[in-house]
Amino acid sequence: MRLALMASGTGTNVEVLLSEKQAGNLPSVDWVLLGCDRPNAPTIQKAESLSLKTWVHSPGEFANKIQYEKSLHLVLSEHEIDGIVLAGYMRLIGPTLLEHWQGRIINLHPSLLPSFPGQHSINDALLYRVKLTGCTVHFVDEGIDTGPIIAQESVPVFSNDTTETLAKRIHRAEHSLLPKTVRRWSEGGFYLKDKIVHFVDEVGETI
- Please give the pLDDT value at position 143: 96
Q: Judge residue 85's burial from the number of C-beta atoms within 10 Å of its C-beta, 0-12 exposed, 13-18 middle, 19 or more buried.
A: buried
On whether the CB atoms of residues 9 and 90 are closer than 8 A, the answer is yes
How does pLDDT run across 99-128, given as a tens digit for each residue? 999 999 999 999 999 999 999 999 999 999
What's the pTM value of the predicted model, to 2 decimals? 0.95
CA nearest 69: which of 118, 10, 6? 6
- Catalytic, out of 57, 73, 79, 109: 109
On whether the CB atoms of residues 100 and 73 are closer than 8 A, the answer is yes
Indicate the domain borders of the chain.
2-199
CA nearest 134: which of 159, 109, 117, 164? 109
Sequence-separated (6 or more) residues with CB below 8 Å from residue 126 = 157, 161, 162, 163, 166
- Asked if pLDDT for residue 54 goes beyond 70, the answer is yes
How does pLDDT run across 122-152, given as a tens digit for each residue? 999 999 999 999 999 999 999 999 999 999 9
Domain 2-199, CATH class in plain words: alpha beta
73 part of the active site: no
- Please give the pLDDT value at position 204: 76
Q: Judge residue 3's burial from the number of C-beta atoms within 10 Å of its C-beta, 0-12 exposed, 13-18 middle, 19 or more buried.
A: buried
- Please give the pLDDT value at position 203: 66
Q: Which residues of 31-51 are buried (b: 16+ CB within 10 A; e: fewer)?
A: bbbbbbbbeebbbbebbeebe
